[in-house]
């Protein structure tokens, strides 16, 4: 395996990881920001008020995006397996 091929495989894997993680984390980040602004405006310092909405949004992102997440990982895995003959030769 040449270093260029290894770098390409690693680059694609890191891109997919960043894509999938950001699809889960970004909605939670936005909800956390909205809740933090609400807490600052009303001076409410309840811990569950900031944690529970982020947890629910993260779970909803996993539920609604789960099929797409699995599809992306399966496509990448198939591409890896199909590229084995070109890497070995």
Structurally, how many domains does the chain consist of? 1
Q: Is residue 83 scored above 90 in pLDDT?
A: no
**Of 2, 19, 20, nearest in space to 88 by CA:** 2
In the chain, which ranges are continuous DSSP H helix? Answer: 3-42, 47-82, 84-88
Q: What is the pLDDT of residues 23-51, one digit of tens each?
A: 999 999 999 999 989 988 988 888 778 88
What is the reported pTM? 0.79
In the predicted structure, residue 1 carries a pLDDT above the cut 70: no
Domain extent, residue 65, equals 3-88
């Amino acid at each position: 395996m040449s270093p260029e091929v290894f770098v390409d495989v690693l680059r694609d894997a890191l891109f997919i990881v960043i894509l999938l993680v950001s699809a889960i984390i970004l909605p939670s980040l936005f909800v956390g920001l909205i809740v933090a602004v609400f807490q600052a405006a009303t001076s409410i310092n309840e811990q569950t008020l900031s944690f529970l909405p982020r947890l629910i949004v993260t779970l909803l992102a996993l539920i609604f995006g789960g099929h797409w997440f699995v599809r992306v990982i399966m496509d990448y895995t198939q591409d890896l397996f199909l590229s084995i003959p070109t890497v070995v030769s």
